[in-house]
Every structure is written in structure tokens, then in C-alpha cells.
Amino acid sequence: MERYNPWWSGEPDEAYEAWSSSELKWLPEIIENLELKPFSLHFITGPRQVGKTTALKILASRLVESVEPKSVFYYSCDELHDYSDLGEVLDAYIASREAWKVKGSVILLDEVTFVEEWWRAVKARIDAGVFNRDVLVVTGSASIDLLRQKEMFPGRRGHGLDHVMLPLDFTRFAGLVGGLALKSGGLSGLAENVKANGLFTERLGALLENYLEVGGFPRSVRDYARAGKVSISTSRTYMDWLRGDWNRAGKSDRYMKEVVSYLMRAAGTTVSWNSISSQTSVNSPHTVQSYVETLEGMYALLPLSHLAADGRVEHRKNKKLHLMDPFIFKVFGEYVRQEVPMDWVLEATVASHLSRLCPVHYWRNHTEVDVVCLDGKRQIGFEVSSGLKKWKAPWHLDESHVLDRRNAHLYLASMHAGG
């Protein structure tokens, strides 16, 4: 255990030191948002390599500056086999801290989904009252598994919440890479923030072109900062991580490649499970749906359902399927050897950013609204235009915005869930 917790003996943590000395670094917002009040069982999900482990190491290193170091316990579970192994690790730590008269701890279990039936070890000790004075934070690279397994803890979360770590949005990218201090927030102040950020319109325009190529994943952003582009190694490595996740979910590489290839050809147009099935060798619409839902569970894909004028979500109608981050477009484009239309990348980026602020859908009748946000009962429409077509907002929208290459950078810079 001590090799994972060097602060117990007054030594620095190598991962934290590497982050601290990095020329390009940012503080994950989850560190500020995590409630450390006993008893809590927090779950952190998110796409692969978005910085969950780094966030835990930063949290641990900051905590030990103000609390007894032995009350902070980090463990990477990727070398454990099953719940009994995890139980032994937890029991060993509990016994040691009692000997040191530590009354309560922050316990950080990283990569827990590598452990077969890990939840049994944690649940049994919660029920036995072992963690009554503790805060547990659980992360997993296989977010699909973690999302499913957290249902094993009904009434056993205390003050714990679900947290999602996503790639950097454009606001944070522009702040980190471009050094811009922007006004941003939710939908209520969007128009005002767009006007305020107009001071930086030229710089934001250039940064958005970069963001649409690089995305917001830490490794791709660092590649860009160092070399002006994402390396082939980074793209291939991330593709391997994605493939590993869907293999763990029991999905065939061949079928998944066909589904991804179809989605890339569809380029954000509305699709049905039947249409995908008819154009691939996945001969069951239900199987197609399961493949798409797997990508959604991996935070690689964002589905938009049709929203009726009266506010009903019509799940049975065709869906728009967007990729969640520009870097995923790059990775999947190379995977299926297809060019990615930049108009689709921009529309998907707008949809993804808005999804952090509100539920997102689309609307279509004689015209179309690319993204409709449900802000309470209000419907706010966003049309992402190439500049070649005229668009008239339908009567039922409470508010509407048209984004194009002249102003999309200002809108994206002004949308940020963290304020």
C-alpha cells in the first residue's frame, strides 16, 4: 500500500510532481466540486484518459497538506483480481489506520472496474459500518461498468454523488491554450456573455479552428501545445483504449467498425436502427441499438431524440447521433479511413457543449432545428449554419440562436457549466 501513498512517509507523489511541473496543466473542476463530508460514496465516470487518476492524485496531495497524511488512502486497483483481493486491501488499511489512531479517512479507489465484483467488498463494509466516518471516491476506466454497478448501492451513498469528468470544453481550452479570461456560464446569461467575449473575436476564431482539430482530451491538448498537432501515437493509443472498452462490453470489433463507418457517412443526419442495420452486416436493429448505446456509455457518442413542439420527447423517431469531442472525430476518421465533414464537427461540438448545460434534442418538420435545449419548460433552439441556407425559427421556440463560422467561436466560448 505504501508505494501508492508516498505521503505517509513524507515523500512527494511522482504523478502529482509531474503534473505540478508540467508547462501546460489545469486543475480539474471536480476537485472543487467534490463534497468531502462523511459518510459519502462518490462515483466518478467519464471517457477514457480524461484525467480521472490525475484528479485523484491532485486531491490527495492537497489534502495531506492540511490533514493527517495517513487519513488519505489512494489505491490503484488494476492489479487486483476480485472482490476478495480488494477486501483484503481495505481491511489491511483499516487495521493500520486504527493502530495510528486515525478516526476517519478519504479513501480513493482508482480503476475499480478492473476488479471482478468489486462492489461486494465495498458494500459489505458499508453495511458493517466500517466506513461511517469516511469519504469514498470510486473511479473506473470502464465507465459503462461503473454506471451499471453503482446501482448496487441503493440507500448506501450517504452524501455521495455521481460526477462526470469530460474533456475540456472550448471555454477552458481557450483559457488554457490562449490565455484568455472569458465570461461564460449557462443559458440565462448566454447572449450577454457572447457580447462580452466579442472583444476577443479574432483570437477565439483561430483557437476554435485548433479546437475542432485537437479536441479537449489532456493528451491531445498537450500534443498540440508541444507540436501544433495531435501525434499519430496519441490517436492510435486512444483508439486502442476505445476498442478495449467495447470489447469488455462484449461488442465485436467488426460490427463496431461497420456501425462507426455508417455514422461517419451519415454525418449527423437523422438515422434509425433499421437504417443502420440495413447498411451493415449487423442484421438486428436491437443489436445496432446496443452498439450505439455502448458508445454512448463510453462518452464517445451523444444521441439526440426528436422533441415535439409541445415538449414531448419522441424516442421512437429517428435520432441524430453526434460524437462527443473533436478528438473522437479524428480517431474514428482514421479508424474507418473516412474524411470528416467539418460542418458536422462544428454542429456536434455545439450539441456536446449544450448537453453540459441542459437536456438536448432536435426538431424537424418542414424545417429543422439542429439542437433544442429544454431549459425547464422553455425550448431554446440552436441552428448551426454553413452560411449557405436561410433559416427561420419555428413558432414554438421560446428563444433561438443561429451559429455560423462568424459567431460560433463566441457562443462556444460563452458556454461553460462551471460558470
Flag the least confident range among 22-31, 82-91, 249-258. Answer: 22-31
DSSP character at residue 3: G
Identity of the amino acid at 330: K
Tell me how far apart the terminal alpha carbons of the chain are, to the nearest angstrom: 38
Distance CA 80, CA 73 (A): 16
CATH 3.10.20.30 fits 2-164, yes or no: no
pTM of the predicted model, to two decimals? 0.93
Separation between Cα atoms, residue 329 and residue 323, nearest integer Å = 7
What is the dihedral angle through the alpha carbons of 43, 47, 50, 51, rounded to the nearest 10 degrees? 30
List, for residues 409-418, the tens digit of each pLDDT value: 999 999 998 7
pLDDT, mean over the chain: 94
Question: For residue 120, how many C-alpha atoms fall within 13 Å in the half-sphere facing its CB?
Answer: 9
**What value does the mean pLDDT take over residues 13-42?**
92
Structure confidence at residue 142 (pLDDT): 67
pLDDT, tens digit (0-9, with 9 covering 90-100), for 375-395: 989 999 999 987 666 788 999
Q: Give the residue-averaged pLDDT of 11-15.
A: 92
> Looking at residue 184, what is its pLDDT?
96
Write the pLDDT tens digit of every residue in 85-116. 999 999 999 999 999 999 999 999 999 988 99
Residue range 11-34: mean pLDDT, rounded: 91
Domain residue extents for the chain: 2-164, 175-414
Reported confidence tier of residue 145, pLDDT bands at 50, 70, 90? confident
Distance of CA 306 to the CA centre of its chain: 23
Instruction: State residue 389's pLDDT score.
Output: 67
- 159's CB contacts (< 8 A; 6+ apart) are 35, 37, 38, 39, 40
Tell which residue, 349, 336, 348, has the closest CA to residue 262.
336
Nearest CA to 32 out of 146, 183, 165, 129 is that of 165
